[in-house]
Amino acid sequence: MGKEFDVVVVGGRCAGSPLATLLARAGLSVSLVEQAMFPRDTLSTHIFEAAALAFLKRLGVLSALRATGAPIVNHVDLRQEGFQARVPQPQQPGDVGGAMSVRRLLLDPILAEAARTAGAEVWMGAKVTALLQDRGRVTVVRVARNGSEQTLEARLVVGADGRNSTVARLAGSRKYNLTANERFCYWSFFEGADPGAEPAVIFHRWSGNFVIAMPADSGLYQVLALPELSELPRFRQSLEESYLEYVRRCDPVAHALADARRVGKLFGVLRWEGFFREATGPGWVLAGDAGHFKDPSPGQGIQDAFRQVEFLEPAILGAIGRSPSELDEALAGWARWRDDDAGGHYWLAADLGKAGPAPAVLPEIAQRLYERGQLDAFLDLFNHRSAPSKVLTPSRLAGATARLLARGGCDRRAVLGEVGVLVAEDARRKRLARHPHYVALETSADAGPTEVDGDDAGVSVSTVEVSVRGVRCPVLTAGPPDGAEAVVFVHGNPGPADDWRDLLSRAGELGRAIAPDMPGYGRAGKPKDFCYSVDGYAEYLAALLDQLGITRAHIVAHDFGGPWALAWAARHPDALASATLINTGALIGYQWHHYARIWRTPVAGEIFQATASRPGFRMLLGRENPRLTRDQIDRIYDASRPWATKRAVLKLYRATQAAALAAPAAALRPLDRPALVIWGTKDAYLPSKQAERQRQAFPSAHVELLDGHGHWVMLEDPRRVASLVIPFLRRQLPGAATTTGSPASPPPGS
């Protein structure tokens, strides 16, 4: 029996901690489980407006926020194309101010401490590894902490664990009504900025440019740049200079930064995905970014989390003591409210984040509201106190269109075309509200990194799908979306590409980086007639790179990905720029490991695959790879579980002779390409003596043996592996000296 609670809240940031605080104050027994150890930064705009400030006052943490030195900013400097106004922030009775910016490494610990003070049992550094069900209802959370696992029993499990929600994944919550980003975002903080006597939130979107800025905590000044994706190659070539040039296009920001110095990290997010997720199911509910994430352009994520929590708390309190079906019904009602409440603002955020200038009618509407003294209604869109459907009404749209057409000098066809697109989009979105477009769980990509690592922030990872020779191939991507030179991650058996996510995110800071799911593995197609052999995979990799326009590849490979990639390299020597081999390579004098011998044996292999079970898998893999966590072992098991993958494994091993795995060495040796070889000394399947033998293929290779590590070193010790791989790649890639998370002097209070 595990510890029993009324509610277990997973995720201790802007949704989870306030909810735990409110529920604990109401007398419920609450456990708050957070994977990170605070203070820990996270990717965020850090800005919250009047409604959020009012909530934080009710939560009782306003004095702690003021102690960070963050000023309350009561003016906004708004620019929408040709319309510009500097006006007071709209406020209601009981408000404490217009807006505030507090870095999350300060804000989140304040919120978590409030939960602890309220009586919640707070578990930091605790990772959820499983949700257990009783007759189809989630009733238990399994948590790993301090090297051991414990179970927490609860009437309700709340997933408030961010865009990459573990609770959502384990509960099987589907995404729907997705939107893709058309801009990327870089932001940083400055010392010595001059925001003026009456500081304002600067929100300027004009001629395709988009800059947001305001004073923050600790005497810092925060500036966000949201360029169009077309500007990304220029940013990647010279990040610091490009960022500073871009934000200084905004006159009030240029003035504020005249004598300022940038401090700390230059953060970046290159890819994101807006979505809704199914909000609730038997015994679970999602809050904050776990259930709904919108384009960050309006900076509403923190405020959205608080708003959801305020409405979720009474739904839980009113039904937690009733029957499970009554609790489910109450939460389903809250879920319908969430979608109705967030829908209009979701699409508004997507529109704000679109590339190019805003449709001419929108600044025209803002201008007319300003002239009539009604601009507060427009500004309250950012407070979530007015609805887009009540502000951007058909009558206002028609009036703005008529004024533009009557005014000389406008392109009438362009104006009517923009209006037609707006009307059509509105109709499409209303249909989606009635009939959501769901994404299958097996093809749903996660959001990439959401937390800032102490050494390197990484960049976001997204998924693109291509079809290569008729086989579906999901490809994880990071960094610039195109370019002839790329870091190419090749997984092995059983993969999938997700094994590379941490390294891929970091490599994306250096340039284009991709990680495909190869046929038979992960979310890729698994056709029976594919040639599951080293040659077959080498040919497929060649076709994939050709389709993606990659002519120069820095290979990073693991397990069978090594033979596949090196067979490709032997046939395309001019395309191989460098090789990073992790427990793999040209296997010289190799003899099959014990599982391979079973898989190569007809009938015995089929029986072995058919009878494999999770408990048995945990026992065998755990014994051979003691550094892997149970969650990692379960992920490896889940990757190998589909029968089509098991069939691919049998075909691959039966089509491959061990002696043939050494073949690429002869072709690659004369090239002597730069190579890094990393090998765990306790690899149970590919002996570490193979590491030194890689010099027969790469004479100048640098070899690193990781003492006591096993076969999956990039999972066992991701920081150690990254500390070797990223500097190596940085030396190989041109123009990669500047990185998104490169440390400068830390900001005060860090």
Max avg pLDDT among 408-417, 456-465, 488-497 = 488-497
Q: How confident is the model at residue 337 (pLDDT cuts 50, 70, 90)?
A: very high
Distances in Å between the Cα of 318 and the Cα atoms of 7, 27, 80, 311 are 13, 13, 44, 11
The answer to whether the beta carbons of residues 574 and 598 sit under 8 Å apart is no
Number of Cβ within 10 Å of residue 574's Cβ equals 9
pLDDT at res. 500: 93
Rounded to whole angstroms, the Cα distance separating 687 from 585 reads 12
> For all residues of the chain together, what is the average pLDDT?
92
- Residue 162 backbone zone (phi > 0: left; psi -120 to 50: alpha; other: beta): left
| Max intra-chain CA distance, the chain | 83
β-sheet bridge partners, residue 141: 131, 152
Q: Which one is the CATH code of 3-72+87-180+273-346: 3.40.640.10, 2.40.37.10, 3.90.1150.10, 3.50.50.60?
A: 3.50.50.60
Question: What share of the chain has pLDDT > 70, as a percent?
Answer: 95
Give the C-alpha separation, 463 to 476, whole Å. 5
- Pairwise pLDDT comparison (259 vs 235), residue with the higher score: 259
pLDDT band at residue 442 using 50, 70 and 90 as cut-offs: low
Q: How confident is the model at residue 41 (pLDDT cuts 50, 70, 90)?
A: confident
Amino acid residing at 689: K
Return the structure tokens found at 185. Answer: 């975002």
Spatial separation of the C-alpha atoms in residues 707 and 718, rounded to whole Å: 14
- Domain 185-269: state its class: alpha beta
Chain segment 683-730, per-residue pLDDT in tens: 999 999 999 999 999 999 999 999 999 999 999 988 889 889 999 999
Least confident of 2-6, 216-220, 443-447, 744-748: 744-748
**pLDDT of 94 strictly over 60:** yes
Query: Any residues with CB less than 8 A from the CB of 664 and at least 6 apart, and which?
Result: 563, 566, 567, 569, 570, 586, 697
The pair of three-digit structure tokens given for residue 17, joined into one six-digit string:
């901690």
Token output for 73: 């900013």
Kindly list the domain boundaries of the chain, sorted by start residue: 3-72+87-180+273-346, 185-269, 361-438, 453-591+660-732
pLDDT at 222 over 60: yes
pLDDT at 541 over 60: yes
Query: Is the predicted pLDDT of residue 744 greater than 90, yes or no?
Result: no
Taking the C-alpha atoms of residue 555 and residue 552, their distance in angstroms, rounded to an integer, is: 9
Q: What are phi and psi of 405, to 5 degrees?
A: -70, -35
Distance CA 355, CA 374 (A): 28
The pLDDT confidence band at residue 317, using thresholds 50, 70 and 90, is very high
Nearest residue to 518 (alpha-carbon basis) of 472, 555, 480, 583:
472
Residue-wise pLDDT for 639-694, tens only, equals: 999 999 999 999 999 999 999 999 999 999 999 999 999 999 999 999 999 999 99
pLDDT of residue 38: 86
Residue 452 has pLDDT above 60, yes or no: no
Q: Spell 256-277 as b/e; 16+ CB within 10 A means b.
A: bbeebebbbbbbbbbbbbbbbb
Instruction: State mean pLDDT over 454-473.
Output: 75
pLDDT of residue 449: 52
DSSP symbol at 107: H
The pLDDT value given to residue 558: 98
Instruction: Give pLDDT, residue 455.
Output: 42
Determine the pLDDT at residue 446.
Answer: 52
C-alpha dihedral, 103 to 205 to 175 to 481, nearest 10°: -90
What is residue 333's three-state secondary structure? helix
Element (H, E) at 570: helix 561-571
**Choice among 57-71, 258-272, 368-382, 421-435 with the minimum mean pLDDT:** 258-272
Phi, psi of 54 (to 5 degrees): -65, -40
Span 161-182, average pLDDT: 94
* For residue 516, cis peptide bond before it (omega within 30 degrees of 0): no
489: closest CA among 582, 580, 555, 577?
555
What does the pLDDT read at residue 532? 97
507-532: average pLDDT: 94
* pLDDT at 264 > cutoff 90: no
Task: List the strands of the sheet with 702-706, edge to edge.
Answer: 461-468, 471-478, 513-516, 485-490, 552-558, 576-582, 675-680, 702-706
Residues 6+ apart with CB under 8 A from 201: 47, 73, 75, 76, 77, 89, 98, 99, 212, 213, 214
**Residues 714 and 502 sit within 8 Å (Cβ to Cβ):** yes
Domain 453-591+660-732 in CATH: superfamily?
A: Alpha/Beta hydrolase fold, catalytic domain (3.40.50.1820)
pLDDT of residue 741 exceeding 80, the answer is: no
What is the torsional sign of CA 32, 35, 38, 39?
negative
- Is the Cα dihedral 507, 508, 511, 514 positive or negative? positive
Q: Which residues lie across from 158 on neighbouring strands?
A: 9, 285
pLDDT class of 458 with cuts at 50, 70, 90: low
pLDDT band with cut points at 50, 70 and 90 for residue 451? low
What does the pLDDT read at residue 750? 26
Average pLDDT of the residues in 3-32: 98
Confidence of residue 739 (pLDDT cuts 50, 70, 90): very low
pLDDT at position 129: 92
DSSP state of 560: T
CA distances for 747 relative to 47, 106, 107, angstroms: 17, 12, 15
* HEC readout, 438-487: EECHHHCCCCCCCECCCCCCCCCEEEEEEEECCEEEEEEEECCCCCCEEE
Mean pLDDT calculated for residue range 98-113:
95
User: What's this model's pTM, rounded to 2 decimal places?
Assistant: 0.65
pLDDT(456) > 50: no
Could you list the beta-strand ranges (E) of 544-697: 552-558, 576-582, 675-680
Residue 42 has what DSSP assignment? B
Torsion of the alpha carbons at 202, 206, 208 and 212, rounded to the nearest 10: 0
pLDDT above 60: residue 745: no
pLDDT band at 747 (very low <50, low <70, confident <90, very high): very low
Is the per-residue pLDDT at 740 higher than 70?
no
| Nearest to 48, CA basis, from 343, 383, 287, 385 | 383
